[in-house]
Amino acid sequence: MLAFTFPGQGSQRPGMGRPWVGHDSWELVADASEVAGRDVGRLLLDADAEELKDTRNAQLTTFVSSLMVLDAVERLGIEPSFCAGHSLGEYTALTATGALSFEDGIRLVVERADAMHEAGTVNPGTMAAVLGLDDDQVEVACRLADMDVWVANFNAPGQVVIAGSPAVPHAVHDRRPGTPACGHRIRLPARHRSSRRVKC
């Protein structure tokens, strides 16, 4: 049995569409552009890191790129028994399995990204992956930090994502002197999955 997993926002890269220009699977880009009302091809080929960091661009390009790779693999006769995804990748997995049509997947991703962009504009912040601390240590450090910061995701043993104010990457590490912990800022323009995302 074979399982395919699909990435979430933050995995986008400038020029990530270049290897696919001229491939039969590139036709999905034109289809996506028509449904989204955006030039997805330009984003995949010419957008720089700053433009791709915009949630609306990051999610659309990651979704389309993932499905383009899937299409190319399936053209080789390789099909998964299972599909899963991380965050945005859940929508890709649903589309990959046929639970969502390609068109509905594009529409949902566009709506999702627009909503997240708007929420991030109202409550700006950031996210960071903390490496080298136990889950409990990160939670304690977040409570002790003198700022708005919360645990957002438990990604894997030894990797916890925190969200909050722009100073988030230093919040946990500064509270755990002498530990090998480090924080890596995630390429997202807002603090998704934090309690501040909720608009009251």
**pLDDT tens profile 15-61:** 999 999 999 999 999 999 999 999 999 999 999 999 999 999 999 99
Res 188: pLDDT:
54
CA count, 13 A, side-chain hemisphere, 177? 0
What's the farthest any 2 CA atoms get from each other in the chain? 54
Residue 12, token pair as written in the block: 């986008």
Task: Indicate the residue type of 145.
Answer: A
Res 124: pLDDT:
78
Q: What is the DSSP letter of 101?
A: -
Rounded-to-integer distance, Cα 200 and Cα 188, Å: 23
Res 186: pLDDT:
59
Res 143: pLDDT:
86
Q: How many residues does the chain have?
A: 200
Q: Could you tell me the pTM of the whole model?
A: 0.79
Q: Tokens 């599909």, residue?
A: 83
* CB burial readout 67-96, b (16+ within 10 A) else e: bbbbbbeeeeeeebeebebbbbbebbbbbb
CATH 3.40.366.10 holds for 3-122: yes
Q: Where in the chain is the domain with CATH 3.40.366.10?
A: 3-122
Separation of CA 174 from chain center: 26
Contact partners, residue 32, CB within 8 Å, separation at least 6: 40, 60, 64, 102, 106
Per DSSP, the three-state class of 174 is helix
Separation of CA 53 from chain center: 10
Assign domain 126-197 to its CATH architecture: 2-Layer Sandwich (3.30)
Q: Where in the chain is the domain with CATH 3.30.70.250?
A: 126-197
Res 187: pLDDT:
53
Res 197: pLDDT:
44
Which residues of the chain are modeled with pLDDT < 70?
167-200
